[in-house]
Amino acid sequence: MAAPLRFYGPFAAQVVLMLNQIRSFERLPREQQDALQRQQLHTLLCHAQQYSPYWAQRLKRSGFDPARPDISAFHRLPELYRSDLQTSFEAARARWPGLTDDHVIVATTSGSTGAPVRVEKAAPQYSLIYQAIDLLDAEWHRRDPSKTLAWLGVGLKDAEYPGWGEPFESLGQRGKVLKRCLGGVSTTSHLEWLLSHRPDYLKCSPFVAADLAQLALDRGVSLSFHHILSQSERVTPRQRALCQQAFGAKIVDRYSCEESGWIALQCPQQDQLHVLNPSVLVEIVDDQGQPCPPGEVGKVLITSLHSFAMPIIRYDIGDLAAWGPPCDCGMTLPVIARLWGRTRHRVRLPSGEYMPMAFIGDEIGEIEPVREFRVMQYRDGELLLQIKAARPLSDDDRSRVRRIIDRNGLAGLPLFIREVEQIDWGPGWKREEFVRLDLPLTLGTQPPHN
């Protein structure tokens, strides 16, 4: 579309150029996207073989030949685990002559696994791609970075900023950002804070957004946002519905990880995610390492196509997901229909088999007094369901909970329901409605309300 001429600074110009290259993939036939990915993958594998002792060895074992581009050698590479990056950090780097420390970013992440991993990234390339995709997300969802964004998060310092950061500021878009620390303050106080500022956008976890929405509805207050930004958490249909009802706002989800950056962004029209094929190759595989057909839940493997400083190839990011059918929005980027969260969130059945834990929040949420809940599975299979409720649960509430558990394939597992004043979500910023613990269940002195 024609527009008045604009003059960009050097870095902003590079980001915009990168954005245009990324956008050129959106509607390409899939065969062409696949061919471009294979071409880039071959470049990455050749680089990894040349500059990383760790990858040279792995690639040799998989039969990789730099002279002959062949996707089958890639598929023979074993999955890369966090533990591999921990034990082989030095050897897994692929620094080329000229790449100095000044141009390397070290990302450290423990995810929710408690096992920190360090990954090195070449700053100039990584920043360009990262910022271009930030712009892409804003474009897809018609976000206006000259408006005000409120951000509620764990560990944030209460502060006000005159811009959304890069790349928006270099492009002359200067909307305010209001940051507020989530911890130690009640939801009521956060809601009042939002009412006093009335920001255009809200950024927070979908749990927090849904809590705020519930409170706004209970109090009948009027507050609206253009949309709510969330990142890398499962967003449930109930959370989406609450935010729509209370704030007239959709939740826009973005899927990313520290190890490789952006992976997928929510479709501009539907709730599902589109994989960012220009920069990342995503596989979803079953327990035997075979590709899952659409609809089947499997492990997510990430290959970061520009991870030259430290190649991330067939990396088990620890998430479960399923492919969806092609999207009708007009974009041909692959669709992740549903992100199931971490692999450790598989529930163990009485038979000893595992299945992904269902989202039961939507059904549990229909039990009127329930405000928060969490399910924990202990070593011997027992389920402990903690519930924070507005009033004591009735017998009828309890039987409804039991029916929900049974309906979701969990009949046969011993279930204990316990009402609590507060749920201790731990120090991380991700709340998980289900966790599996390798501990025996001890119910203390209080008998379980079973």
Binding region for Zn ion (CB under 5 A): 267, 327, 329, 331
Calculate helix-pair angle for 206-219, 187-197, nearest 10 degrees.
80
User: What is the nearest approach in angstroms of Zn ion to the Cβ of residue 272?
Assistant: 7
User: What is the nearest approach in angstroms of Zn ion to the Cβ of residue 275?
Assistant: 11
Note whether 295 and 267 are within 8 A (CB). Answer: no
Note whether 304 and 291 are within 8 A (CB). Answer: no
User: What is the nearest approach in angstroms of Zn ion to the Cβ of residue 361?
Assistant: 25
Q: Enumerate residues 6+ apart whose C-beta is below 8 A from 291.
A: 283, 284, 285
Q: With respect to Zn ion, which residue has the nearer C-beta, 251 or 331?
A: 331
Phi, psi for residue 376 in degrees, rounded to 5 = -120, 135
User: What is the nearest approach in angstroms of Zn ion to the Cβ of residue 156?
Assistant: 31
User: What is the nearest approach in angstroms of Zn ion to the Cβ of residue 274?
Assistant: 6
74 residue type, one letter: F
How many whole angstroms separate alpha carbon 387 and alpha carbon 252?
28
How many whole angstroms separate alpha carbon 161 and alpha carbon 164?
7
User: What is the nearest approach in angstroms of Zn ion to the Cβ of residue 324?
Assistant: 9
Q: With respect to Zn ion, which residue has the nearer C-beta, 39 or 269?
A: 269
- Cα dihedral 283, 346, 228, 190, rounded to 10, equals -150
* CA-wise closest residue to 275 among 328, 206, 327, 207: 327
How many whole angstroms separate alpha carbon 296 and alpha carbon 284?
9
